[in-house]
Every structure is written in C-alpha cells, then in structure tokens.
Amino acid sequence: MVEHVYRRAKMATSIDDLLVATDDVRIHRAVTAFGGNVTMTSPEHLTGTDRLAEVSATLSCEIVVNVQADEPLIEPDNIDLIVKALNTNRSVPVSTLRCPITSAEEFLNENVVKVVIDSSGLALYFSRVPIPFTDEPELAVTTNLYKHIGLYAYRRSFLLELANLNQKPLETTERLEQLRVLEYGYKIQTVETTRDSIGVDTPEDLTRVRQIVTSGA
C-alpha cells in the first residue's frame, strides 16, 4: 500500500520532493526495495504529526505536506489544492480537504470524520460523530455536510511549533490530531474537492480499495 501511495503522491505538481517517515524497519525495507526515499524516526512519537515535525526540522522548505499511508487512492490534484490554499491565504498555518457527504450511512459512520466549517471554509470542528446534528440523516446528501479527507499542508515553522504543544482533551477524546490546532486557537483552511479518497481504517475498507485498484475504476 505504501508504494501505491508514494507513486500517487509523486504525481502532484506542487511538491519538490517526497519522503517516507517511519519507525518500522519493515516499512523502511519495503520503500527502499521499490526505490523510494525513506528515513527512520523516533518510535516515541504519539502521533503522525509529531513524526512529521521531526523530519521537517531537517528541511528548509516553507510548506510540508502530510500524506498518510492509509490513503492509497489519494488524488495528486488534491495535494496541489491544499498547497495552493496556503499560498493563497497567508494568514492560516494549515490547510486540509473536505468532501460532500453522499449518504446517510457515511454520515453515521464513526470511521468517517466529519467537519463543520464557517462561511470562509475555515474549520470550526472535526468529529467522528454526525455533525452538525440532524434528525433526518437520510437528508445528508442534500445539505452542506462534509467529511474530512486526511491530507494536510503545514507551514513548516508552525508544524515545528505544533509538535511542542501538549495534547489537549478534545484531541485525545476524539482521537483526531487536527483538533490540537483548533484547541490552541489556530486556524485550519479547508478546501472542497469532489475527488474523494478512501482511508483504509478497517478490513472492509482494504477489500474495497483492492477491488477499485484491480478494476481500474
């Protein structure tokens, strides 16, 4: 899976280099075997954001994109969207993606992270539970309800600062790293995309992704 994500991400036009950061020697060997760029990081990190910050401390770029290895269907254009968002809105330190929810099942699924935004597309909150509340979830597809796609672009200077901030209750309760940004009062710019991605959180997700890749859909 990591090789598929790597090759998809490399197709983005807005990135200069690509690096896999891992604390698992098996992943290091797999990436090395297909010729990818990889580095080992500390096994003590509590989150992927902290791991990313360790690597970012050795870089000189202004923007760092976090592509998670459980997004094998990631669209290269989506990477370009969030990089553009940071270049356009210089007042925000983080950008990410949202996608319209297409079914009541998706809206109620705790593995699908929902995001509520303001009129400028800034994130107000992320949650695994259905937000905003509706007693008619079957209408989710007809209203502006969004799910979050776990792809982030950070200003490198902010990422290094973020890694030094302690986790707060919302992040640990929801198990969502991006809530640390909001809990400390920073802004996250969200960008809408119609190019959905499937995060592999369950065996069923993996089966679905394999079927899509095999069919070429």
Q: What is the pLDDT of residue 136?
A: 76
Each residue of 23-69: pLDDT tens digit? 999 999 999 999 999 999 999 988 888 899 999 999 999 999 999 87
**Residues contacting residue 20 through CB under 8 Å, at least 6 positions apart:** 2, 6, 27, 31, 36, 37, 38, 39, 69
Q: What is the pLDDT of residue 71?
A: 72
Residue 82, pLDDT above cutoff 80 = yes
| CA-based nearest residue to 99, from 204, 197, 208 | 197
Q: What is the pLDDT of residue 64?
A: 96
Residue 102, pLDDT above cutoff 90 = no
Residue 65, burial from CB neighbour count under 10 angstroms (0-12, 13-18, 19+) = buried
Work out the angle between the directed axes of helices 25-33 and 2-9 (0-180°, nearest 10): 50
Each residue of 156-213: pLDDT tens digit? 999 999 999 999 999 999 999 999 999 999 999 999 998 776 665 556 655 655 555 5
Q: What is the pLDDT of residue 113?
A: 95
Q: What is the pLDDT of residue 20?
A: 93
CATH of 62-215, one of 1.10.240.10, 3.90.550.10, 3.20.10.10, 3.90.45.10: 3.90.550.10
Residue 83, pLDDT above cutoff 90 = yes
Instruction: Give the total residue count for the chain.
Output: 217
If pLDDT is split at 50, 70 and 90, which confidence band does 3 have?
Answer: confident
Mean pLDDT of the chain: 88
Tokens of 151: 């792809």
Tell me the torsion sign for CA atoms 29, 35, 150, 62. positive
Q: What is the pLDDT of residue 80?
A: 96
